Amino acid sequence: MTVLLDVRGVEKSFRTTRAVDGVSFGIEEGEIFGLLGPNGAGKSTLIRMMLDIYRPDEGSVLVFGHPMEREDLDRIGYLPEERGLYRKRRVIQVLRYLGQLKGLTAADATASADRWLLRLSMEHYRDSKVESLSKGNQQKIQLIGTLLGDPPLLVWDEPFSGLDPVNANQVRDLLIELRDAGTTVVLSTHLMAQAEAVCDRVGLIHGGRMVLCGPIGEVRQQFGADQAVIITDAPLAEGDDWPELAKVLDDVPEDGARRFTVCVQGSPEALARRIIEAGYELTEFHRHRPTLEDVFLQAVAG
């Protein structure tokens, strides 16, 4: 696969604060890459270096195979976390202007805007003033502004901000549609469920460093073991020969039985079989695979 965006050992400090500390990763063409991390982790600073808004103190960023050039900016759709729409203007005027800034003619910008307004169910707001729109609909207009001219690379910082569940799902479906059409997306979000639904790979920034990076399945295996909830007819005895298969996290009474939450060290099937072989009546056995949010919380806490 072609690496569309290549970040190599970038560092950035502001006075005595190291915002980004030696971060490296590559984003492949046609994938959705989730850039995750808690507030103050360095994500926004990293994004600004990726877009040549900030220059790194050390390291380099290659986009489309070379250092950023002015014409490359016309091939990138950037959604900042802060809104930047002209509130007193009509929606189509704002979008036409944004398209022209990207090098489109007025006619092409209008045609592209109308196509995306229709795709995101916003066509009836075409001639409305921006200030009359809800917070969520203004966010959708900003998203459309990044899509004008169909750029091959999108960098979206908190795209789900202000969206209700219906519109959030619409944007999630749009991301998958864009990826399947070959668009590369860098997605920064605090919503782990949305990232888990759309991202091919994720990178977690914490304290200015990349603490994990890879496909979601591999990240789960690397950073979070399976858990299981077990309900049996009696307390598990201290002498039971199964500690290598599970570590007990919680043990509480439940309706005359015992409910255990365990961290599975080996095979869940082997664990269930060992409990039954030890003579316990196994009433329930629920396996829980760690979610991206579980991994996020564990990584940040660690």
pLDDT, the chain, mean: 87
Q: What is the pLDDT of residue 176?
A: 96
Measured in degrees and rounded to the nearest 5, phi and psi for residue 253 equal -70, 150
Query: What CATH number does residue 218 fall under?
Result: 3.40.50.300
- What is the tens place of the pLDDT at every residue in 73-102? 999 999 998 878 999 999 999 999 999 999
Structure confidence at residue 123 (pLDDT): 97
Q: Is the pLDDT at 214 greater than 60, yes or no?
A: yes
Residue the block writes with tokens 């399976």 = 226
Same domain, yes or no: 210 and 284: no
What is the spatial distance between Cα 178 and Cα 184, in angstroms, rounded to a whole number?
8
The two three-digit tokens of residue 27, written as one number: 């984003």
Q: Are 172 and 159 in contact (CB under 8 A)?
A: no
Contact 201, 25 (CB under 8 A): no
Q: Are residues 180 and 39 in the same domain?
A: yes
Name the residue range of residue 162's domain.
3-84+144-222
**What are 232-274's pLDDT values in tens digits?**
776 666 555 566 666 766 667 777 677 777 777 667 778 778 7
Please identify, among 222, 253, 272, the residue that sits at the C-terminal boundary of a domain: 222
pLDDT in tens, 107-123: 999 999 999 999 999 99
pLDDT at 161 over 80: yes
Highest mean pLDDT: which range of 66-70, 224-228, 295-299: 66-70
Which residues are paired to 215 by β-bridges?
201
d(CA 302, CA 259): 27
